[in-house]
Amino acid sequence: MLAPCDTVGDLAAILADPRHNAICLGPGAGAGMELRDKVVTALQSPAVVVLDADALTAFVDQPDTLHDAIKARTAAVVLTPHDGEFARIFAITDDASKLARARAAASLSGAIIVSKGADTVIADPDGRAVINANAEPWLATAGSGDVLAGLVTGLVAQGMDAFLAAAAAVWLHGEAGSGPGLIAEDIPEALPAVLARLYKSGNQHQRD
């Protein structure tokens, strides 16, 4: 269940096992050269890679290094920046719409972009895009974005297409936002009820 991952070598050894088909890097990782090297190591593996928070900030001075490493691989990469992180790693004009900026970032980097906010945009390098509209304001709490990155990773690890996983995770994240006073730890606890409701609805449609 658990394996130490203190160094780049540790990470490479873990990702050498083909059962480890998805990895999320960034939340609480601490920006710096070591994290940057871990991200590059992950991007050299066949696993789907989800990058959030510190894993994005680590490339603020070298965004092209990140983009080039993504484009050099075939497996999907999902980036989940908030507005500040987006501005730091993409030199895209602010006067474009959020949808246009997300699509441009996806094309530039070769990654699926989850541009977070009240109107989160999920954009694929192939031009597909989804705008999510069910995010309540109380989701803007510390750690909420980390949970979202974990949701994307979990769905991808189960074999879901990365673009669809990103879109589904954003929607589930919004549905699990229970109300005022929400903290990030509440979101995973609310997910079973959301999933049960979807499962019940799906079965009802099949019977109808």
Please answer whether residues 86 and 94 qualify as being in contact, where contact means their C-beta atoms are separated by less than 8 angstroms.
Answer: no
Please answer whether residues 80 and 173 qualify as being in contact, where contact means their C-beta atoms are separated by less than 8 angstroms.
Answer: no
Predicted model pTM: 0.94
Please answer whether residues 34 and 11 qualify as being in contact, where contact means their C-beta atoms are separated by less than 8 angstroms.
Answer: no
Q: What is the pLDDT of residues 74-131, one digit of tens each?
A: 999 999 999 999 999 998 877 789 999 999 999 999 999 999 999 999 999 999 999 9
196 in helix, strand or coil?
helix
**Element housing 169 (H / E):** helix 162-175
Query: What domains can be seen in the chain, in order of their start residue?
Result: 8-207 (3.40.1190.20)
The pLDDT, as a whole number, for residue 205 is 66
The pLDDT, as a whole number, for residue 31 is 72
How far apart are alpha carbons 145 and 117 in whole angstroms? Answer: 10
Kindly give, in sequence order, each residue whose CB lies less than 8 Å from that of residue 91, ignoring residues fewer than 6 positions away. 63
| Full pLDDT tens readout for the chain, 208 residues | 788 899 999 999 999 999 999 999 999 888 778 999 999 999 999 999 999 999 999 999 999 999 999 999 999 999 999 999 999 999 887 778 999 999 999 999 999 999 999 999 999 999 999 999 998 888 999 999 999 999 999 999 999 999 999 999 999 999 998 788 899 999 999 999 999 999 888 777 666 6
Between strands 77-79 and 129-131, the pairing is unpaired
